[in-house]
Amino acid sequence: MTGRDGASCAVTQDAPTAASSSHPDRSAHPAHPAPVLEVRGATLAFHGRTLWSGLDLDVRPGEFLTVLGANGSGKSTLLKALLGVQRLGSGTIRIQGESVARGRRRVGYVPQQRLIPTGTPMRGRDLVALGVDGHRPGVRLRGRRALRARVDAALAAVDGTELARRPIGQLSGGEQQRMRVAQALVSDPALLLCDEPLGSLDLHHQQEVVSLVDQRRRSHGTPVVFVTHDVNPVLPATDRVLYLAAGSHRLGRPEEVLRSDVLSELYGTRVDVAEVAGRIVVLGAPAHLDPHHWEEGA
């Protein structure tokens, strides 16, 4: 796994200017390909409450980074910062060496569950097609056939062929979510950001989406930043974990972060990480910080 190699570089403080001033020759360093995503000293606070600070992060081609944390710990906000729609308090974010504050972005993004209203004049396939050419000016005139083939393939991959002709607003939450995954993947993005894409999926479709994303990063080298509440479905794919809590964070391989001592220190109170029937469960994380884990521990 390329990502395991990348992990050691995550906290190094090598000068960001060196990485950004030119595009490093990737073929010269096959073991250490240039990071696709570089975050340096990222800090963000709302109304005096710090979400995260001093965040340094390199995500290299093909790496699968899982972001964990309580409700309100700033996971979605982090993804929005990576998209360039949320400004940082301080620090820099670069994608493919280019600052996200400007420039053309080629990022696939699956937003946290937001239902598309009924009465949206769009069918399943239209939503996916926007992932291909939604950023192009004008109306779609040429290339309909090639587009159709791409969209069909993306739909088939999420088991959504049946949903292609249905009005998007009439699809269930999970069906919409699968359409969004197809929309993000069809664009062949440089980076894939997923905000709880497993939210309202049944077990079968959870596995399907995880393996789809996993396959994509292996075949295309697309790095993945994957926000989730339950680490278990993505644990086999995860290279590194970024755990956000109480304005602080821990970054490392799953076995380095998902440990009682590490999380206890992070939360500032006793937290137990246990393995129950092959699943990792976090017990005793403060309720006001993380109601979800209480439920899971109960």
Residues that bind Mg ion (CB under 5 A): 76, 112
Q: Is 285 in the site for other proteins (CB under 8 A)?
A: no
Name which position in 3, 61, 69, 197 contacts ligand ATP (CB under 6 A).
Answer: 69
Say if residues 29 and 190 touch (Cβ distance below 8 Å).
no
Least separation in angstroms between CB 288 and Mg ion? 17
Name which position in 41, 72, 169, 247 contacts ligand ATP (CB under 6 A).
Answer: 72
Single out the segment in contact with ligand ATP by CB under 6 A; choices: 65-73, 159-167, 185-193, 233-241: 65-73
Least separation in angstroms between CB 76 and Mg ion? 3
Say if residues 75 and 52 touch (Cβ distance below 8 Å).
no
For ligand ATP, the closer CB: 125 or 249: 249
Backbone torsions φ then ψ of 120, nearest 5 degrees: -80, 125
Q: Is 137 in the site for other proteins (CB under 8 A)?
A: yes
SS (H, E, C) the chain: CHHHHHHCCCCCCCCHHHHHHCCCCHHHCCCCCCCCEEEEEEEEEECCEEEEEEEEEEECCCCEEEEEECCCCCHHHHHHHHHCCCCCCEEEEEECCEECCCCCCCEEEECCCCCCCCCCCCEHHHHHHHHHHCCCCCCCCCCHHHHHHHHHHHHHHCCCHHHCCCEHHHCCHHHHHHHHHHHHHHCCCCEEEEECCCCCCCHHHHHHHHHHHHHHHHHHCCCEEEECCCCHHHCCCCCEEEEEECCEEEEECHHHHCCHHHHHHHHCCCCEEEEECCEEEEECCCCCCCHHHHHHHC
Least separation in angstroms between CB 194 and Mg ion? 11
Name which position in 84, 97, 174, 297 contacts other proteins (CB under 8 A).
Answer: 84
Backbone torsions φ then ψ of 68, nearest 5 degrees: -120, 165
Name which position in 71, 161, 207, 211 contacts ligand ATP (CB under 6 A).
Answer: 71
Q: Could you tell me how far CA 235 lies from the centroid of its own chain?
A: 14
Least separation in angstroms between CB 190 and Mg ion? 23
Q: Is 197 in the site for ligand ATP (CB under 6 A)?
A: no
Quick note: the x/- pattern for other proteins over 156-195, rule CB under 8 A, is -----------xxxx---------x--xx--x-x---x--
65 binds, among ligand ATP, other proteins, Mg ion, none (CB under 5 to 8 A by kind): none
Q: Is 267 in the site for other proteins (CB under 8 A)?
A: no
Q: Could you report how far apart the first and last alpha carbons of the chain are, in Å?
A: 35
Single out the segment in contact with ligand ATP by CB under 6 A; choices: 19-27, 64-72, 93-101, 276-284: 64-72
Name the β-bridge partners of 98: 95
For other proteins, the closer CB: 43 or 86: 86
150 binds, among ligand ATP, other proteins, Mg ion, none (CB under 5 to 8 A by kind): none
Q: CA-to-CA distance for 12 and 31, rounded, in angstroms?
A: 17
For Mg ion, the closer CB: 164 or 184: 184
Q: Is 73 in the site for ligand ATP (CB under 6 A)?
A: yes
* Residues near other proteins (CB under 8 A): 80, 83-85, 104-109, 111, 114, 116, 119-123, 126-127, 130-131, 133-140, 167-170, 180, 183-184, 187, 189, 193
* Residues near ligand ATP (CB under 6 A): 46, 51, 69, 71-77, 112
